[in-house]
Amino acid sequence: MDFYDIAWEYEPRAFVIEWDDDGTPIGSFRPDFYLPDDELYIEITTMNQKLVTKKNRKIRRLRELYPHIRCKIFYRRDYLNLLVKYGLEAPDVDVPAPTRIPGPPEVVNLADVDEAAG
């Protein structure tokens, strides 16, 4: 993100997603990154399936409680495909195809971003 001059913050906010009977917060979700110019939180999960399932549950709860908050999740296969796409890793036949990230498609031509920046 720094290379493309994209403003970002690392884990800037935790969202309470669970309370006990007294109203005391007992569970929260802190997305990995926030892109302030796009008002978008990003969660990257490259861990084992058990943790992926837990994160999916937290993101569903976040969307239920805070529908105005935009948060996208990138799975291991998405991350690996981005590395290949931008020449940071060699193609690997074992890398599954990227997933469709929930929400409306948003296409950004990175060449346009570079030209606008400078």
1 domain residue, yes or no: no
The confidence score (pLDDT) of residue 43 equals 92
CA 48 to CA 106: how far, in whole Å?
Answer: 28
Domain hosting 62: range is 9-117
- Domain annotation covers residue 96: yes
Q: Looking at the domain assignment, is residue 74 inside a domain? A: yes
**φ/ψ of residue 109, rounded to 5:** -85, 110
Task: Convert the pLDDT of each residue in 60-81 to its tens digit.
Answer: 999 999 999 999 998 888 888 8
Mean pLDDT score, 27-39: 95
- In this prediction the pTM is 0.69
Tokens of 73: 């999740």
Averaged pLDDT score across all residues of the chain: 81
How many distinct structural domains can be found in the chain?
Answer: 1
Assigned domain for 2 exists: no
